[in-house]
């Protein structure tokens, strides 16, 4: 005997499984006050959630990598670093499941790029009622990043700033910490080779002393919108790259800051371009940050954009 159409549809709807991964220490830990409401929204949306609270750094990578293929959705609550772990585990697993993101970090750059609500319950409703959006993922040698790989000035700030300070001040903490480093700017002599954004085959090269560089797929960095350039798309298979040369005097440093704030990157003091792949080589080891977390020290790195690598729920 066949089931009535409506009843059969309801049963199928209620059979959807969701893995809900929570970083309980992200931001101010406010997720603890909303967990039951979020679970209720998921259940009402037809999902049976399995909840896992992260126990240590990289725990989410392992959990997502080893997840059952039967999950229809992987939901995460945390900052962009938590999302990075989710995406890394998913890429390592070799199969793709739609991601739902409830931002609860101190800055949430990638969530802002996706225009996800800051309100956690509204973000959960987007997961239930929104549509999957395919976006790019970055490969950094053997590692993964979602929205930024960076080196140099200010980069150690993101993983060196105490969590308590991030919780209190948000992205202003990055600025306050970064000012301490201005008096002793370190530069790195680098050779950069990158693929042309148009034909994706022709190579260009640059060699110079750089104090800062970022390879991004985001509309904002550190809470600042527009700093990654204009006409940014999250699914075009291209990174936005900014490499800042070493200033020879305070006037040039001020010109660099002005260019970043005004989004005018056509200056002799920096390189700005789009590419799907680039290679960076330097004589000294350079510390990198990936999505706000320490990414190790390297003399040579290859960065590649994998287009439409993940599906993440966003507002219709």
134 lies in some domain: no
- The yes-or-no verdict on residue 132 having pLDDT over 70 is yes
Residue 119 has pLDDT above 70, yes or no: yes
Q: Which of 39-48, 117-126, 168-177, 281-290 has the lowest mean pLDDT?
A: 168-177
Cβ atoms of residues 312 and 131 within 8 Å:
no
Q: 40 and 157 share a domain? A: no
Token readout for 114 is 């996706």
In terms of Cα–Cα distance, which of 289, 301, 316 is closest to 151? 289
* Judgement on whether residues 123 and 49 belong to the same structural domain of the protein: yes
In a shared domain, residues 124 and 151: no
Judge whether 312 lies within some domain.
Answer: no
Same domain, 282 and 187: yes
CATH of the domain at 297: 2.60.200.40
Q: What residue numbers bound the domain in which 66 lies?
A: 5-129
Domain containing residue 86: CATH number: 3.40.50.10330
Q: Is residue 52 part of a domain?
A: yes
Are 111 and 147 in a shared domain?
no
Last residue of a domain, one of 80, 102, 129: 129
Instruction: Answer yes or no: is 314 within a domain.
Output: no
pLDDT tens sequence across 48-93:
999 999 999 899 999 999 988 889 999 999 888 899 999 999 999 9
Out of 69, 97, 129, pick the residue that ends a domain.
Answer: 129
How is residue 50 written in tokens?
Answer: 């399995």
Tokens at 60, concatenated = 């989410």
pLDDT tops 50 at residue 117: yes
Q: Which residues contact 226 (CB under 8 A, 6 or more apart)?
A: 219, 220, 263
Question: Could you give the CA distance from residue 106 to residue 204 in angstroms, rounded to a whole number?
Answer: 37
Tell me how many domains the chain contains. Answer: 2
Question: pLDDT tens-digit profile of 151-191?
Answer: 987 565 554 555 554 454 444 444 445 545 555 678 899 99
User: 308: pLDDT confidence band, cut at 50, 70 and 90?
Assistant: very high
What b/e readout covers 221-258, taking b as 16+ CB neighbours within 10 angstroms?
Answer: bbbbeebbbeebebebbbbbbbbbbbbeeeeebebbee
């Amino acid at each position: 005997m066949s089931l009535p159409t409506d009843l059969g549809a309801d049963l199928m709807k209620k059979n959807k499984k969701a893995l809900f991964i929570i970083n309980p220490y992200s931001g101010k830990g406010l997720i603890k006050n909303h967990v039951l409401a979020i679970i209720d929204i998921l259940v009402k949306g037809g999902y049976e959630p399995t909840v896992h609270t992260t126990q240590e750094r990289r725990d989410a990578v392992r959990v997502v990598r080893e997840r059952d293929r039967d999950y229809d959705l992987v939901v995460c609550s945390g900052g962009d670093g938590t999302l990075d772990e989710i995406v890394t585990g998913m890429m390592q697993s070799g199969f793709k499941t739609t991601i739902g993101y409830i931002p609860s970090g101190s800055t949430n750059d990638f969530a802002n790029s996706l225009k996800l609500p800051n309100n956690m319950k509204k973000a959960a409703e987007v997961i239930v009622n929104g549509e999957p959006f395919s976006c790019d993922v970055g490969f950094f040698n053997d590692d993964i990043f979602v929205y930024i790989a960076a080196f140099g000035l200010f980069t150690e700030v993101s993983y060196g700033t105490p969590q308590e300070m991030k919780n209190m001040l948000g992205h202003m903490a990055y600025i306050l910490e970064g000012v301490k480093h201005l008096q002793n700017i370190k530069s790195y002599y680098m050779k950069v080779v990158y693929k042309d954004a148009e034909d994706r085959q022709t190579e260009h090269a640059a060699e110079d002393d750089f104090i800062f560089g970022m390879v991004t797929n985001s509309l904002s960095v550190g809470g600042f919108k527009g700093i990654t350039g204009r006409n940014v798309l999250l699914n075009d298979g291209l990174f936005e790259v900014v490499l800042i040369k070493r200033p020879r005097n305070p006037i040039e440093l001020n010109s660099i800051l002005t260019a970043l704030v005004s989004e005018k990157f056509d200056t002799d003091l920096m390189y700005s371009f789009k590419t799907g792949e680039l290679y960076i080589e330097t004589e000294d080891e350079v510390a990198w940050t990936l999505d706000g977390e320490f990414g190790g020290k390297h003399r040579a790195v290859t960065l590649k954009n994998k287009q439409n690598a993940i599906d993440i729920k966003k507002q219709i």
